[in-house]
Amino acid sequence: MATTAVSSTSSATSTAAANKAAAATTAAANKAAAQKIITSLSAGSGVDTASLAQNLVDAERLPQENGINAKITKNDARVSGFAAVSFVLGEVKTAFAALKDQTSFNVLTAENTNPNAFSVTTTATAKADSYDIDVVRLAKAQRSVSDGVTSAAVSLNGGAAMSLSLAISGGTPSAINLPAGKDTPQDVVNAINAAGRGVTAKLVDTGDGSGKPFQIILSGAEGSAGAFTLTPSYGTGSGSPGLSFNAGNLGSQAASDAQVKIDGVTYTRSTNVLKDVVPGVTINLKATTTSSAQVNLTREPASIKDKLSTLVSSYNDAMTMLNVVTDPKSTMDTYGATLVGDSTVRMIKQQLRGMFAGTSSTPGSGVGSLWQMGISVDQAGTLNVDNTKLDAALNSHFDDVVKTFSGNQNNLSTYSTAPAGVAGDAVKKLTDLLGPTGVVARQSQNATTQNTKHQEELAKLQTRMDGLLKRYQKQFAAMDSLVGSVNSQKSSLKSTFGGMMAAYTNK
């Protein structure tokens, strides 16, 4: 704000100074040119006709020029004033925006007595509460490990074509076909992965010294629904050494679902990331427990009070600035007295007061306005917070406070006509005021447009005055020449009469 407004005010000063400097330079040049014309006539009345001509022009130009420059200065000041207004209203909008969504109030602290068994994270829809949690079983994905073979390139079926029958969770098997010459362990891995049937494969070299270190590892999706069977079919091939999976091979694992008890209720899920068992809470299971762990979700009112404090400060700052720009006695640099008597500022002040007064468009049953939360304007016009009332509202009527501010809405468009609570409605109004077509931008643009016209008026005035000066210069040059001629004739007559008198005297 300060940079914009200072630059606007500096523009007014520099514009006026530039206009005066240009006028002075032009006057000096015109005076010198006029004097050259008169001097070239080799005659003169003895009067400084160049200065006389310039003074006559200045007498006509300066009142008009000063009047136009005064308008430019005033409009530049208005631009600075509205820049300040725009800034402080923007701060109020930002403060309201931090309170316009229901999720803005859901700031919880999670206390977990067994973080080694599971972690807890809260989302914006979580509620303050406490839970007893037992992790009975973790979700696991099936992992099948093949018997070892000598190399990644060994033929598993004597080079003949073979197929793999894959069934997921007891469903209908699907065939994965390997053509002749494509029956190595690496070919099997490539074919399974290319099939995209929900099972992935990789070939590992265990380096176990057995002579058969290469094994294929198959992995399914997490949970019992991801269990699978893979059955090879060798057709006319030898089937040697073939492909076999043994549940006893090291690293093998059966598929299972996660199971957790929360407050005595058992929940079974296919994943260890539980997002739907406690509203607004994500539980990430890590290990089973031998006894219940406690999770306490407590509301953190300090963060909400900080947001409300910011809102109150932004309102008071805005009102202070609105008073400064309209106070004719203000001595504040840049902004003071820049919008004295402006009806737009009066309208803005009325709207701003209205955003904090009255009942919310979405009141709660116990609390439905800011004053009921202890937020009210005193006799001096300053917005204050009664922390005793605010604490009582947050502790006893928290849901009402949320509804009063947000209308229990989230990410509501500023174009929506739905009631949006104190904060949501205020953001809509401030968006209109501050938008490209809003009243603040229009007033500032009007002042800028007027100054463009005033600059054009100055240019036209200078053109007229240049023409007037030239006319005066020609007229005074002619007058000076005539006076010189008369003076010459006067001298001639005087000489003639003197000669005649001398002649008569000598007689």
Instruction: Please write the tens of the pLDDT for every residue from 364-377.
Output: 999 999 999 999 99
pTM exceeds cut of 0.85? no
Place of tokens 């004739």: 489
Tokens in use for 237?
Answer: 């091939």
Tokens in use for 348?
Answer: 């803005």
Please say whether the beta carbons of 284 and 271 come within 8 A: no
**Cα–Cα distances in Å, from 211 out to 203, 207, 373, 436?**
16, 8, 78, 77
For 287-320, how does the pLDDT look when each residue is reduced to its tens digit (9 = 90+)?
Answer: 999 999 999 999 888 999 999 999 999 999 999 9
What is the DSSP secondary structure assignment for residue 381, as one 8-state letter? S
Burial of 30 (0-12, 13-18, 19+ CB in 10 A): buried
How far the first Cα of the chain sits from its last, in Å, is: 98
Confidence (pLDDT) at 380:
87
The architecture (CATH level 2) of 141-233 comes to 2-Layer Sandwich (3.30)
Q: Using CA of residue 252, residue 256, residue 262, residue 266, what is the dihedral sign?
A: negative
pLDDT value at 477 more than 70: yes
- Would you place residue 4 in the very low, low, confident or very high pLDDT band (cuts 50, 70, 90)? very low
Radius of gyration over every alpha carbon of the chain, rounded to an integer in angstroms? 46
| Rounded Cα–Cα distance for residues 324 and 406 (Å) | 32
CATH 3.30.70 positions along the chain are 141-233
pLDDT value at 43 more than 50: no
For 410-428, how does the pLDDT look when each residue is reduced to its tens digit (9 = 90+)?
Answer: 999 989 999 999 999 999 9
H-only helix segments in 154-264 = 185-195
What is the DSSP secondary structure assignment for residue 103, as one 8-state letter? G
Average pLDDT over residues 97-113: 92
Please say whether the beta carbons of 393 and 364 come within 8 A: no
Tokens in use for 353?
Answer: 């007061």
Average pLDDT over residues 436-459: 94
| Rounded Cα–Cα distance for residues 501 and 80 (Å) | 82
Percent of the chain past pLDDT 90, that is, above it, reads 74
- How many other CB atoms are found less than 10 A from the CB of residue 338? 28
For 108-117, how does the pLDDT look when each residue is reduced to its tens digit (9 = 90+)?
Answer: 889 999 999 9
Confidence (pLDDT) at 21:
62
Task: State the average pLDDT for the chain.
Answer: 89
Confidence (pLDDT) at 12:
44
pLDDT value at 103 more than 90: no
